[in-house]
Amino acid sequence: MDVSSYLVPAGASFDPETWPTREGDDFAGGKKAARKELAELAGRLGELQARLYAEGERSLLIVLQGMDTAGKDGTIRHVFRAVNPQGVRVTSFKKPTALELAHDYLWRVHRHAPERGEIGIFNRSHYEDVLVVRVHDLVPPQVWGRRYDHINAFERLLAHEGTRIVKFFLHISKDEQKRRLEARLENPKKHWKFNPADLSERKRWDDYTAAYREAITRTTTEHAPWYVVPADRKWQRNRIVAQVLVEVLESLDPQFPRVDFDPEAIHVE
């Protein structure tokens, strides 16, 4: 599978309305085959993560963004099922605390950047400060408008210091969001996942679409690219994300460190 078709190249314009939210039924050989390949990719991801952790020289930052119900939690659960939790850290960014609001808006984000040898996953991220903040008019346009440059500089800093950055926009349709919200209401086991506030956010769909359009266009770069992943079908979403991450880690080619002793000369009594 050629994942470059999901990449928004640096300098390119992004329009959510022209990107698909699902692939055909024959994608990756069909649902059953794609799930089998996902299991294999998850295993490979686990192997590469073990090498990255042992090497301890570089890190990987994964940013997950998307409309409500796009599947950020599900992506993490399925794609990273074979990795060692010791080398992976997930951070979910909620409403800023009083302490966080007392600092610049990137302060709380930088604190959670992955350590060397670690995979960091941002479930929502610093992009909320040009998305939610913009849509809800929490700060003036001249304030959030200059944040794109801040974000690019921040990500460039991380990249220069050894962090590989990959950003995913999980792209669902408005119809699919409606179906998923209704499913949460119909299933008592999913009631806890439903937030009535999601309905008011849904009414701002067009505003969020415009915000994502500008955010992705202005922040997809060579060192921190955006991938737009069709997310109406969960098995397609997971398969694509796993493929991208395996290819990224294989390009890094982390290695187990060489030891400064001869293992064959050591005898454990």
pLDDT tens digits, one per residue of 219-265: 999 999 999 999 999 999 999 999 999 999 999 999 999 988 888 88
pTM: 0.96
Domains of the chain: 15-187+194-253 (3.40.50.300)
Q: How far is residue 35's CA from residue 23's CA, in Å, rounded to a whole number?
A: 15
Residues 6 or more apart whose CB falls under 8 angstroms from that of 97 comprise: none
Whether 23 and 226 have beta carbons less than 8 Å apart is answered as no
Q: Could you please report the per-residue DSSP string of 62-125?
A: EEEEESTTS-HHHHHHHHTTTS-GGGEEEEE--SPPHHHHTS-TTHHHHTTSPPTT-EEEEES-
Q: How far is residue 67's CA from residue 172's CA, in Å, rounded to a whole number?
A: 7
Q: What is the pLDDT along the chain (269 residues), one digit of tens a residue?
A: 899 999 999 999 999 999 999 999 999 999 999 999 999 999 999 999 999 999 999 999 999 999 999 999 999 999 999 999 999 999 999 999 999 999 999 999 999 999 999 999 999 999 999 999 999 999 999 999 999 999 999 999 999 999 999 999 999 999 999 999 999 999 999 999 898 988 999 999 999 999 999 999 999 999 999 999 999 999 999 999 999 999 999 999 999 999 888 888 898 98
